[in-house]
Amino acid sequence: MDFRTLPGFREFYPEILAARNEIFSRWRSAARSFGFKEFEPPVLEELSLFTEKSGEEIRSQLFEFVDKGGREVALRPEMTPSLARMVGSKAGGLRKPVKWFAIGENYRYERQQKGRLRAFYQYNADILGDDSVACDAEIMALLVASLESLGLTKEEFKVRLGDRKLWVLFLKSRGVPEDYVVPVLSAADKMAKISPEAFSEVLSGSLKGSGVDSDALAREIRNFASINDFSELEKFFEGISKGEDSELLARLEDWKVLFESLENLGKSDFVVCDMGIVRGLAYYTGFVFEAFQTVGTGRALAGGGRYDSLVRKLGYQDLPAVGFGMGDVTVSDLLELVGKKPKNKDALDAFLIIGSPSLRKKALNIASSLRGGGISVEYPFKDSGFGKQFKQADSSGAKFALILGEDEAEKGVVKIKNLSSGEEVFVKETEVRKFLSEKSKLD
């Protein structure tokens, strides 16, 4: 027998878990400060919930099976479809806008690659029921605040902001017929990852039968996608018939409002315009964004955008929505890289050293009283000499050793040794709890 975890699944030993949970706890605090409420969807759902959102092709990436009741089910690959159901099915009874977040594990059966997990945690935050640009600014501000809560700065990450709506207006202005827009966007999304030749080929495939000159459009798309400054964006559209296109004008106005709101929220320094951000998923309908680290490998940390049609598509009322998702692994790698891994706060406060078997009763009384006061305490289960117990205290990682010897017991005191400084003090038995409470507050 040799039991292992499944490929792409993680088992969390305490130290690793504590570090991960510290990240989650900062994210929770950030989301709560923005008035977001936490929700939790089921881990297992009907398969159709996921195929309805993403198409049948999603099945190849799912942990899907038929359960003992004959139901086609799947481990959730993401939380958004469940969110849409939870909000959609009770939309009438929920205060709008709905501001919710979740931190949970998702599952995808992906080809094994370095760093690619099949079970991965994600932090999602979404606002449903509001279509204003102020709402887009709010979700982006939360994304920034969540990364800031980990001590990350604008020198270490940026949010790149693109716009599906503007892409659609741009493609239409270039004569791309309505039905071809989504396939062309999907091709544009792949552009950065493939060679120019491969891109031309993909694009020409997407445009088949549209009558559009694929090579000319490829050049224009490359130009458009390379815009990474708002003034460039304004300039780009100056050339075309802006006067006739009130949609376009209104959209450029939206960009201004968005940046203004981000500035008012103190987050505009983190956000840059980047029309190369397209987001492949067909369900995005407006602003889209990705957070990237600007140090090291430049990996993506999070992504999101506006998706106004999903809730209706799943059969519920029309609820505009915007949100983001962020994984724990890339963020944790980044923190490691920049030397900002959160400290493990889980250290034991005190280890009790029991001078003789007759003192065990007193020792357990003290342990129990300290624990009742929220101080973490261990003591040896078996009687042994001072030397062995001191070793146990050291290896426990405790901040303090509490030494209860015959002499101390007679005087009603406990010797408290700071295990990092070596400093020793005698404290009255009745005052140990107070002493340690104050010490642990100083941490």
Within 150-209, the residues that bind a second copy by CB under 8 A are: none
- Helix 133-148 vs helix 246-264: crossing angle, to nearest 10: 40
Nearer Cβ to a second copy, position 46 or 220? 46
CB-wise, 140 or 203, nearer to a second copy?
A: 140
Determine how β-strand 271-273 pairs with β-strand 157-163.
Answer: parallel
HSE (side-chain half, CA atoms, 13 Å) at 361? 1
Min CB(438)–a second copy separation in Å: 17
Of 22, 24, 26, 48, the one binding a second copy by CB under 8 A: 48
Segment lying near a second copy (by CB under 8 A), choices 101-109, 176-184, 238-246, 301-309: 101-109
Task: Give the chain's end-to-end CA distance (angstroms, integer).
Answer: 45
Place of tokens 């799943």: 314
Which residue's CB is nearer to a second copy, number 186 or number 384? 384
Nearest to 233 by CA among 284, 281, 167: 167
Q: Which is nearer to a second copy, 28 or 279 (CB)?
A: 28
> Nearest distance from residue 361's CB to a second copy, in Å?
5
Strand-pairing partners, residue 104, are 122
User: What is the footprint of a second copy within residues 257-276 (CB under 8 A)?
Assistant: 260-261, 264-267
Decide whether 178 or 438 has the Cβ nearer to a second copy: 438
63 binds a second copy (CB under 8 A): yes
Name the residue nearer to a second copy (CB basis): 138 or 163: 138
Q: Which of 27, 56, 77, 99 binds a second copy (CB under 8 A)?
A: 99
Taking the complex as a whole, how short is the minimal distance between the CB of residue 78 and a second copy, in angstroms? Answer: 15
Binding of a second copy by 245 (CB under 8 A): no
Interaction between residue 95 and a second copy (CB under 8 A) = yes
Residue number, 213 or 260, with CB nearest to a second copy: 260
> Would you count residue 323 as binding a second copy (CB under 8 A)?
no
For 37, phi and psi rounded to 5 degrees? -110, 145
> Can you tell me which residue has the tokens 């376009």?
248
Contacts of a second copy in 336-395 (CB under 8 A): 346, 348, 360-361, 364-365, 367-368, 370-372, 374-378, 381-382, 395
Per DSSP, the residues of 279-328 read: -S-TT--SEEEEEEESSTT--EEEEEEE--SHHHHTTS----EEEEEEEH
What CA–CA distance (Å, rounded) separates 227 from 236?
Answer: 9
β-bridge mates for residue 425, sequence order: 416
Query: What does the alpha-carbon distance between residue 368 and residue 256 come to, in Å, rounded to a whole number?
Result: 60
- Identified binder of a second copy from the candidate list 24, 55, 56, 67, rule CB under 8 A: 67
Count of residues touching a second copy (by CB under 8 A): 92
Kindly list the strands in the beta sheet with 400-404, ordered across the sheet, starting from the edge strand earlier in the chain: 377-378, 350-354, 400-404, 413-418, 424-428
In the complex, least distance from residue 419 CB atom to a second copy, rounded to whole angstroms: 14
Site for a second copy in 118-137 (CB under 8 A): 119, 130, 132, 134-135
Q: Which of 42, 175, 196, 412 binds a second copy (CB under 8 A)?
A: 42
Site string for a second copy, 10-39 (x = CB under 8 A): xxxxx--xx--x-------x--xxxx-xxx
Alpha carbon distance 410, 334 (integer Å): 54
Residue 119 pairs in a beta bridge with 107
